[in-house]
């Protein structure tokens, strides 16, 4: 395990990351702990994964679609429309699940969409038991081990996605979202309509929307690294810079310049491993 301080907006947090040997395929975990002089609000930048928050402090989420505030542990789908995380006393375990893994672990991929869903609504009484174990843990290492064991149990008991859906998701990720649905359907030997339907029900997004999100995620991280919007648009497969701007507004609610300085992305180099496509030409 490693722990490093990271400044996020006006707050400095300690970010804990499990050792590489303790990681699961399709799963990333990080622990966040810190205190601010006043509550800090961060708008989530959509990421191609389901995000689970197990809270031990005072974190809550605001769903701007309906203005509802939800306190405590929850799960957010891979393309939240407008969700803000808020907190002053932060002590939270964050888990990112590949949609392929999330289908078995959460069991409700299509129903989640971009809303915030309470963990107990997905896991029932098992959620409270696991949260109690995590809260009683004396270290982040212990928390990571408890969470890993729970995820393995849920995954083994859940229903795996179709192999064709898993293949299609992998192709979308490795292509950085630059692959047409017609080609995916041909590669898996399904009709366009069948791939669209099965992928949507098991991943929670249509293949086209998934590809758009993966492409935007790549672009967002390139922007956060300091590259110009024009360069990022060109290398990410956008028609032009205005096309990138439209996607930024659609997914994150800000311009590319706003994405570049989004506090939510500041922690990524420390907390999360680089996506599979990050180093691909």
Give exposure, 22-49, as e/b (b: 16+ Cβ within 10 Å): eebebbbbbbbbbebeeebebbbbbbbb
The structural domain count of the chain equals 2
Domain, as residue range, for 259: 163-271
**CA 193, CA 200: separation in Å to the nearest integer?**
11
Examine the domain organization and report whether 221 and 118 are in the same domain: no
Report the pLDDT value the prediction gives residue 229, as an integer from 0 to 100: 97
Report the pLDDT value the prediction gives residue 148, as an integer from 0 to 100: 96
Residues facing residue 96 across a β-bridge = 28, 51
Report the pLDDT value the prediction gives residue 11, as an integer from 0 to 100: 79
Report the pLDDT value the prediction gives residue 111, as an integer from 0 to 100: 60
What's the whole-model pTM score?
0.91
Report the pLDDT value the prediction gives residue 231, as an integer from 0 to 100: 97
**CA 141, CA 168: separation in Å to the nearest integer?**
34
Examine the domain organization and report whether 96 and 193 are in the same domain: no
> The domain that contains 203 carries what CATH number?
1.10.10.60
Report the pLDDT value the prediction gives residue 69, as an integer from 0 to 100: 76
Instruction: Evaluate whether residue 278 is within a structural domain.
Output: no
Report the pLDDT value the prediction gives residue 60, as an integer from 0 to 100: 83
Q: Which residues of the chain have pLDDT under 50?
A: 279-281
Instruction: Evaluate whether residue 276 is within a structural domain.
Output: no
Examine the domain organization and report whether 129 and 168 are in the same domain: no
Examine the domain organization and report whether 49 and 144 are in the same domain: yes
Instruction: Evaluate whether residue 43 is within a structural domain.
Output: yes
Report the pLDDT value the prediction gives residue 113, as an integer from 0 to 100: 61
């Amino acid at each position: 395990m490693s722990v490093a301080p990271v400044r996020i907006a006006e707050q400095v947090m300690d970010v804990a990351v499990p050792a590489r040997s303790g990681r699961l395929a399709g799963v990333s975990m990080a622990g966040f702990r810190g205190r601010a002089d006043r509550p800090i609000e961060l708008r989530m930048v959509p990421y191609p994964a389901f995000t689970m928050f197990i809270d031990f402090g005072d974190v809550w989420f605001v769903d701007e679609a309906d203005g509802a505030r939800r306190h405590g542990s929850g799960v957010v789908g891979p393309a939240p429309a407008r969700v803000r995380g808020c907190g002053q006393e932060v002590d939270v375990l964050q888990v990112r699940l590949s949609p392929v893994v999330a289908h078995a672990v959460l069991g409700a991929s299509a129903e989640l969409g971009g809303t915030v869903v309470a963990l107990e609504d997905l896991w029932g009484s098992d959620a409270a038991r696991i949260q109690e174990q995590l809260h009683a843990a004396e270290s982040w290492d212990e928390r990571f081990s408890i969470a890993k064991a729970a995820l393995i149990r849920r995954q083994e008991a859940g229903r795996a996605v179709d192999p064709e859906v898993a293949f299609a998701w992998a192709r979308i990720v490795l292509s950085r979202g630059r692959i047409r649905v017609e080609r995916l359907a041909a590669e898996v030997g399904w009709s366009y309509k069948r791939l669209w339907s099965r992928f949507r029900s098991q991943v929670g997004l249509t293949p086209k929307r998934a590809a758009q999100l993966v492409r935007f995620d790549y672009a967002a991280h390139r922007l956060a690294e300091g590259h110009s919007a024009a360069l990022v648009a060109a290398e990410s497969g956008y028609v032009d810079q205005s096309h990138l701007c439209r996607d930024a507004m659609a997914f994150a609610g800000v311009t590319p310049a706003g994405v570049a300085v989004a506090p939510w992305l500041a922690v990524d180099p420390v907390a999360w491993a680089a996506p599979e496509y990050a180093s691909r030409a």
